[in-house]
């Protein structure tokens, strides 16, 4: 504070001395100017037209402005805008590329279960996760209507069977009468036709009784194979239609992982040298797999292709619904790659910031990209091995701007 006062005091004294010197010179010049008589003092003792005073007044104003501006230093220059960034040295990827896909453990065979007849559900005998055996009852419909239909068909069959026996007896009697020439051949043929019609009616009703008996048995929904119930879509008392899926059964046995693959990775999956499966519940255990199925059509919503990777040697620890990771390994030629966080676009063209380590300045450079693998992108052209690219902070810098590396990257 004392230093500041001394500076201001010195500045004020020097300014006063300069202005006083200027005033003396101007006063001397004013005194030498000729003054007309009668103009030095006006009536009543007031000041008249004095040229000297006209010069001294502006000088006083200049002295005031000079003293007011004294002591104010020029504003300091703004500090250089040096942005902190992260950078990476561009290098060649190895000869092996690995792509990872997340999926879910599923059964090799998954069956939607449905009643073969319509009706009201009387009982539901399973829950989600229930282990069932082949032939075990899962649900039962109300069988009353189907039992009545079987009874009616059986009564019709009994009546038709009786008529058929009577027609056979009549045919036997009319055959004897024909041998004695008591009836015509036309009458005998008519009786024979009636007998055959009655027998055909019996066969028809017998088949109908069998069909209705099957429908009555269809009121019980049974498991076609041993497995576990993975979904239940009905409740007791609900009316269901024939063929309406009410449950899902995952068959015991083979297990596989279902994954979704983008269209640009289909060839890599088909030609993969090795498929490795890891469970999130057991990250240290690896299972060998093979591609069993690849959908020929993309999903309408996600635009990806469904694929199923089969476990070659599963163990009891592999359970349905577990989350798994599939590693797809392929031999690939060495290539340059950068993190996807280093990319930005100018006029629709992918760009990267190239860092000059000597000047610590950046410059935008256009690149051509290849395949995307995880969080990295393959660079086909535009970069050389050994160059440095900015990987974090790409949207906060401008061409030619000086940057500094993050403390963790300082040499």
Model pLDDT, residue 74: 55
CATH of 85-94+334-409, one of 3.10.50.40, 2.40.50.140, 2.40.420.20, 2.60.34.10: 2.40.420.20
Kindly give the pairing relationship between strand 361-366 and strand 305-311: unpaired
Map out the domains of the chain as residue ranges: 2-69, 85-94+334-409, 98-107+253-331, 110-142+219-249, 144-217
- What digits encode the pLDDT tens for the residues 318-363? 988 899 999 987 666 677 888 889 999 988 899 999 999 889 899 9
pLDDT at 78 over 80: no
- 387 falls in which pLDDT band (50, 70, 90)? very high
Residue 245 has pLDDT above 80, yes or no: yes
pTM confidence score: 0.54
Whether residue 92 contacts residue 335, with contact meaning beta carbons closer than 8 Å, is answered with yes
**pLDDT at residue 225 is higher than 60:** yes
Q: Do 362 and 354 contact (CB within 8 A), yes or no?
A: yes
Both structure tokens of 160: 């038709």
Residue 88 · residue 392 · CB < 8 Å: no
Kindly indicate the confidence band of residue 77, based on its pLDDT and cuts at 50, 70 and 90.
Answer: low
Question: Which position has the higher pLDDT, 63 or 322?
Answer: 322
In which band, very low, low, confident or very high, does the pLDDT at 296 lie, cut at 50, 70 and 90? very high
Q: In the predicted model, is pLDDT for residue 66 greater than 80?
A: no
Q: Closest Cα partner for 55 from 95, 22, 78, 81?
A: 22
Retrieve residue 253's tokens.
């046995």
pLDDT value of position 2: 35
Gap between the Cα atoms of 392 and 401, Å rounded:
15
- Among 311, 266, 305, smallest CA distance to 287 is for 311
Percent of the chain whose predicted confidence (pLDDT) is above 70: 77
> What single-letter DSSP state applies at residue 178?
H
Distance, CA of 303 to CA of 309 (rounded, Å):
19
Neighbours of 300 (CB within 10 A): 6
Rounded Cα distance between 30 and 71, Å, is 32
CATH number of 144-217: 1.10.287
Confidence bin at 79 (pLDDT 50/70/90): low
Q: Is the pLDDT of residue 24 over 80?
A: no
Comparing 95-99, 262-266, 293-297, 338-342, which segment has the lowest mean pLDDT?
A: 95-99
Q: 339: part of which helix (H) or strand (E)? A: strand 336-339
Determine whether domain 98-107+253-331 maps to CATH 3.40.50.1360: no
Q: Cβ-count burial of 326 within 10 angstroms (0-12 exposed, 13-18 middle, 19+ buried)?
A: buried
Strand ranges, E, within 161-254: 220-222, 227-232, 239-240, 245-251
pLDDT tier, 14 (very low <50, low <70, confident <90, very high otherwise): very low
* CATH of segment(s) 110-142+219-249: 2.40.50.100
- 67: how many CB neighbours lie within 10 A of its CB? 14
Structure confidence by residue, pLDDT tens digits, 102-115? 999 999 999 999 99
User: Over 80: is that where the pLDDT of 261 sits?
Assistant: yes
Q: Taking all residues of the chain, what is their mean pLDDT, rounded to a whole number?
A: 81
CA of 379: how far to CAs of 90, 147, 268, 328, 386, in Å?
Answer: 10, 73, 18, 21, 13
Helix, strand or coil for residue 34? coil
Non-local (6+) Cβ contacts of 34 within 8 A are: none
Query: Would the CATH topology of 110-142+219-249 be identical to that of 144-217?
Result: no
DSSP per position, 43-56: GGG-B---HHHHHH
405 pLDDT above the threshold of 90: no
């Amino acid at each position: 504070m004392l230093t500041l006062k001394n500076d201001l005091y010195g500045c004020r004294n020097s300014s006063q001395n300069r202005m006083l010197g200027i005033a003396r010179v101007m006063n001397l010049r004013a005194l030498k100017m000729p003054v007309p008589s009668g103009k030095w003092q006006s009536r009543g003792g007031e000041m008249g037209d004095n040229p000297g005073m006209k010069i001294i007044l502006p000088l006083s104003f200049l002295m005031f402005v000079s003293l007011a501006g004294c002591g104010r230093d020029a504003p300091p220059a703004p500090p250089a805008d040096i942005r902190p960034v992260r950078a990476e040295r561009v290098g060649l990827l190895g000869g092996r590329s690995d792509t990872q896909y997340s999926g879910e453990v599923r059964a090799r065979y998954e069956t939607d279960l449905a009643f073969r007849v319509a009706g009201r559900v009387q009982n539901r005998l399973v829950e989600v996760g229930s282990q069932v055996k082949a032939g075990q009852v899962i649900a039962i419909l109300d069988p009353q209507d189907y039992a009545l239909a079987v009874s009616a068909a059986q009564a019709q069959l009994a009546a038709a069977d009786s008529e058929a026996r009577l027609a056979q007896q009549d045919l036997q009697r009319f055959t004897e009468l024909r041998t004695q020439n008591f009836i015509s051949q036309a009458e005998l043929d008519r009786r024979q036709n009636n007998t055959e019609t009655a027998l055909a009616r019996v066969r028809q009703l017998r088949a109908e009784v069998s069909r209705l008996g099957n429908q009555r048995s269809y009121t019980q929904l049974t498991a076609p194979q041993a497995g576990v119930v993975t979904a239940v879509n009905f409740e007791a008392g609900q009316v269901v239609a024939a063929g309406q899926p009410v449950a899902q059964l995952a068959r015991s046995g083979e297990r596989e992982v279902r994954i979704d693959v983008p269209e640009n990775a289909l060839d890599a999956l088909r030609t993969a040298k090795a498929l490795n499966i890891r469970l999130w519940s057991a990250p240290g255990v690896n299972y060998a797999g093979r591609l069993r199925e690849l959908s020929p059509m993309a999903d309408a919503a996600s635009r990806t292709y469904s694929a199923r990777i089969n476990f070659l040697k599963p163990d009891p620890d592999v359970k349905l619904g577990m989350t798994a990771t599939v590693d797809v390994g392929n031999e690939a030629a060495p290539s340059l790659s950068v993190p996807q966080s280093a990319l930005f676009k100018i006029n629709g063209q992918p760009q990267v910031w190239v860092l000059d380590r000597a000047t610590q300045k950046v410059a935008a450079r256009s690149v051509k990209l290849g395949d995307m693998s995880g969080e990295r992108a393959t660079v086909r052209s535009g970069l050389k091995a050994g160059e440095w690219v900015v990987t974090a902070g790409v949207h906060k810098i401008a061409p030619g701007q000086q940057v500094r590396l993050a403390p963790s990257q300082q040499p």
